[in-house]
Amino acid sequence: MFGLIIGLLTGGIAGWLAGKIMNNEGTLIRNILLGCVGGIVGNVVLGLIGLYGRGFFGNIIVSVVGSCIIIWLVNNISRN
């Protein structure tokens, strides 16, 4: 149960930070979802080049990178 709460907190922070970086505001639920999915995407993408996040702050950074990738993709797809 505690791990789930930490995961949602991490996802919320990462989604919020990515929204600020990419100038893309959203609701709390959207930020949490974006951060959680961004964590998966970030782990895959950064893992391909040999980078991994360790600890709470490392996971936040990886999730923010993945969330920024998702925001960028969605913005480019929605323009077309």
Residue 65: half-sphere exposure toward Cβ, Cα within 13 Å: 16
pLDDT confidence of residue 80: 65
CA distances 56 to 24, 25, 62, 73, 74, Å, are 24, 23, 10, 26, 27
Q: pTM of this prediction?
A: 0.85
CA distance 61 to 65: 6
* Residue ranges of domains in the chain: 2-79
Span 20-62, pLDDT tens digits: 998 887 777 887 888 888 888 888 999 899 988 888 888 889 9
CA distance 42 to 35: 10
Quickly list DSSP for 18-38: HHHHTT----HHHHHHHHHHH
